[in-house]
Structure 1
């Protein structure tokens, strides 16, 4: 382990993150909302702390190893979650406790979208902007942005990239150099954000809201500038625009890169993961619409709107809302909630276990059924015409097992703090999948639950953002052995 190099990188990243305080400062001065003091203080605190961590080791050079990448990734996300809470904690409006500030910060950076803040419509504009910006930065991963800069400082970034990018095919690079890969991802990410913002503005959003919701839509975060979320606008065109960009953001960004470079979209229709992803959305939408129509919850046109938007918002783990889906009839709340465990495609900004893992688990299950009939036959598991190695299938099953085990342990721990069963399991599910809204006492927000539960949920959000193993590996003795 290169501890000195790790601290040097952490110091650099903290200093870089201090720059994220500058846009909210400008917004605060523009709207004269009085919150600029909190952001100016946060800027200098971040810059100073980053400098003090970096300066003792600024001469250290070397190549990061895999274990260094894991450590830096976890340290940065956890430390950044705490430091990102500084302006929220220092601000007088809203008046937030330390645990609430950290919860809101980690929720933003992990693109979870769970909030403890009420009265969003009356908050300073700079605070609202900052929450949306946190989600945008966390969407693609600040580490991916950093690896485009670190090579220029004499630090290799491939280890950070592998530790940050989720999914079973992490080592696939879009370009020969990791720096070019990170830049390509961020260019696409920025272009999608700009297009989304312009489309929302054209559809009827005010410019400030359009920018904020573009940030959280492309990041699949779910933070809004209004308490009523997207229901505030009651605009089917806005909902249609957001559905489109949520679906696009839920796909592998490598596909967007190839579409941009090759000027073709045919590979979207050939990708097994995308087809399964769209299939899950379509089936969920049909079932949701049918139940809403049968139970006459809304008029038919409104049922179509609600079913389409809420299906995409929940299944992609964006977590937006146009209505109170937690009180929809029969099995709809539970069914929609379960789709968040599938989440988005690998390499997307979505949360959950990722579509490709669920697809591989289903294919493996189908193979085992065929083996019962033909025990001596060989049935390879294929995705997109390629045979999947057994080690990948074993890794997927390992991830699935650990994911469920951690879910159960955290749910029991949350119930131990005094929460009821529905609130506990939905709160853990909503945070570990980076969905946001839950059921029970956390259907609207998380302000009413106790502080211990909030700290546990912060841990769950980090687990979900780092896809469990990246964080849990630090708790194993073998990681620290030389």
Structure 2
């Protein structure tokens, strides 16, 4: 395989990340904190190495074939995690380099799990960098889901191909075109969210950083108490609205912008199911909280809406320790961690469409059992569900659940109890954020875990964010042969 175009793109990426490190320097000069020199050092290393790679590998047109697209996608996310961890390592964030790397990967993959405590005392440049990582990771996820994954046939994403042209030579040009349109929309949503947060009562700095981590459905907050630190209920409901907007298909937004027909939202099967599911679960949990915790309807609805939406969209915000609400909510939130948002959004998880397609396949199989001679046609949103798509989704679900079980066992080997190990594995692979229980739950952090467990969880975050196959295919010997 020719690696020159792969290294060339990685050079561009590292150079760009180095330039991004200049933004926290500006924040540090404005608010103080004394970490501008650490960011400047990291920026210098990243831009120098990135520029050197770009220059030494230049000289030919950039055309990526499918295998090169797999490699550059996987290498970009894995190497970027270490690049963006440099300023955190230099600044001594956490209890050592492993904590800094964990925080960087959690931010970049928009997982939102954290090992940091006393967030209010950290320099604002560090808080801004954490939020910026999640914002950059969010737009990267969208570009992958819309522009790359459908052409690579990952996890049934071929259902969402925007054109049927040859995938072997179209990945990079198509990515450029779509990324520009997404970037403008993503920036507009983020700006709007920041303004509304500010009008709702947040400070300017909190509004900007929380807007970045809300639209990206990522979940980093500037406070240990997350959204419980904000007494204004309006702020909680603003978060609910923009978490939902971040979890909707961005391709649908682009269609709305070009056609101006809002019926597209109502006719989209993913979006309809997503809204119906959210409303039903929030309603059920609201009634349960009112009945069992004896709280007002408004308080119960706020608690249910923010926490359910946060977990389903894999954001990671919390305004209460929902793992301590009782057996029913505890079990419910375990199930919600497997749901996910819509495809082509910033959300992680299994995704609504995979649940829908699995349901269609199940019903088709039941019909075949009832009527063996019948011709059963399976379609999703008017498109045929081919055997290749069925096999791809089945493989995705098998690898997802298999990964969770293996990581749970491995975390158990580090001495973690089952609830902590299982919920940490699920929240990492599904990119949800907080786990369950007293050690890694919504009211805790991952700081108390052994370094080996933190490293494994960081790997699980990347594995889940890339939907498994992008990394696993690199382990196949045939992948590297011409």
Question: Given that residues 168 and 396 in structure 1 are in contact (C-alpha distance below 8 angstroms), is that contact kept between their aligned partners in structure 2?
Answer: no
Q: 1:310 aligns with which of 289, 307, 312?
A: 307
Asked if residue 169 in structure 1 is aligned to residue 159 in structure 2, the reply is yes
Aligned residue number for residue 134 of structure 2: 135
Aligned residue number for residue 4 of structure 2: 4
SS in 1 for 2:337: helix
- Matches of 1:201 and 1:165, distance apart in 2: 39
Moved more, 396-405 or 113-122: 396-405
Cα offset, 1:363, TM superposition? 1.2
**1:172-203, Cα deviation, whole Å (9 max, x unpaired):** 26999542211111111111101111111111
Q: Closer, same or farther in 2 for the Cα pair 1:86/1:96, shift >3 Å?
A: farther
Cα offset, 1:5, TM superposition? 2.1
**1:346-391, Cα deviation, whole Å (9 max, x unpaired):** 0000000111011100111111112221112122222223332222
Aligned residue number for residue 273 of structure 1: 270
Moved more, 337-346 or 269-278: 337-346
Asked if residue 202 in structure 1 is aligned to residue 199 in structure 2, the reply is yes
SS in 1 for 2:14: helix
**Alignment length, in residue pairs?**
470
Aligned residue number for residue 219 of structure 1: 216
Cα offset, 1:48, TM superposition? 1.6
- Matches of 2:476 and 2:154, distance apart in 1: 21
Question: Given that residues 7 and 54 in structure 2 are in contact (C-alpha distance below 8 angstroms), is that contact kept between their aligned partners in structure 1?
Answer: yes
Moved more, 69-78 or 158-167: 158-167
Asked if residue 452 in structure 1 is aligned to residue 452 in structure 2, the reply is yes
Aligned residue number for residue 475 of structure 1: 475
- Matches of 2:371 and 2:129, distance apart in 1: 58
Q: Closer, same or farther in 2 for the Cα pair 1:406/1:168, shift >3 Å?
A: farther
**1:250-274, Cα deviation, whole Å (9 max, x unpaired):** 1100111111222221101001111
SS in 2 for 1:169: helix
**1:95-115, Cα deviation, whole Å (9 max, x unpaired):** 541110010000000000000
Aligned residue number for residue 167 of structure 2: none
Mapping of 1:258-407 within 5 angstroms? Answer: 258-296=255-293, 298-407=295-404
- Matches of 1:354 and 1:215, distance apart in 2: 22
- Matches of 1:412 and 1:389, distance apart in 2: 35
- Matches of 1:282 and 1:269, distance apart in 2: 15
Asked if residue 431 in structure 1 is aligned to residue 428 in structure 2, the reply is yes
Moved more, 44-53 or 297-306: 297-306
Aligned residue number for residue 116 of structure 2: 117
SS in 2 for 1:446: coil
Aligned residue number for residue 30 of structure 1: 30
- Matches of 2:160 and 2:473, distance apart in 1: 17
Q: Closer, same or farther in 2 for the Cα pair 1:410/1:142, shift >3 Å?
A: closer
Asked if residue 19 in structure 1 is aligned to residue 9 in structure 2, the reply is no
Q: Closer, same or farther in 2 for the Cα pair 1:425/1:102, shift >3 Å?
A: same
- Matches of 1:119 and 1:251, distance apart in 2: 33
Moved more, 380-389 or 362-371: 380-389
Aligned residue number for residue 442 of structure 1: 440
Alignment root-mean-square deviation, CA: 2.2
Aligned residue number for residue 148 of structure 1: none
- Matches of 1:223 and 1:282, distance apart in 2: 25
Q: Closer, same or farther in 2 for the Cα pair 1:425/1:274, shift >3 Å?
A: same
Q: Closer, same or farther in 2 for the Cα pair 1:95/1:114, shift >3 Å?
A: closer
Aligned residue number for residue 410 of structure 1: 407
TM-score, normalization by structure 1: 0.93
Q: Closer, same or farther in 2 for the Cα pair 1:215/1:15, shift >3 Å?
A: same
Aligned residue number for residue 153 of structure 1: none
Question: Given that residues 141 and 164 in structure 1 are in contact (C-alpha distance below 8 angstroms), is that contact kept between their aligned partners in structure 2?
Answer: no
Aligned residue number for residue 47 of structure 1: 47
Aligned residue number for residue 150 of structure 1: none
Question: Given that residues 281 and 308 in structure 2 are in contact (C-alpha distance below 8 angstroms), is that contact kept between their aligned partners in structure 1?
Answer: yes
Cα offset, 1:168, TM superposition? 4.1
Aligned residue number for residue 154 of structure 1: none
Cα offset, 1:286, TM superposition? 2.0
- Matches of 1:48 and 1:142, distance apart in 2: 26
- Matches of 1:234 and 1:173, distance apart in 2: 47
Q: Closer, same or farther in 2 for the Cα pair 1:182/1:14, shift >3 Å?
A: same
SS in 2 for 1:135: helix
- Matches of 1:132 and 1:436, distance apart in 2: 14
- Matches of 2:429 and 2:204, distance apart in 1: 32
- Matches of 2:278 and 2:148, distance apart in 1: 34
Moved more, 266-275 or 51-60: 51-60
Question: Given that residues 150 and 158 in structure 2 are in contact (C-alpha distance below 8 angstroms), is that contact kept between their aligned partners in structure 1?
Answer: no
- Matches of 2:331 and 2:240, distance apart in 1: 21
Cα offset, 1:171, TM superposition? 3.0
SS in 1 for 2:17: helix
Moved more, 445-454 or 363-372: 363-372
Question: Given that residues 73 and 160 in structure 1 are in contact (C-alpha distance below 8 angstroms), is that contact kept between their aligned partners in structure 2?
Answer: no
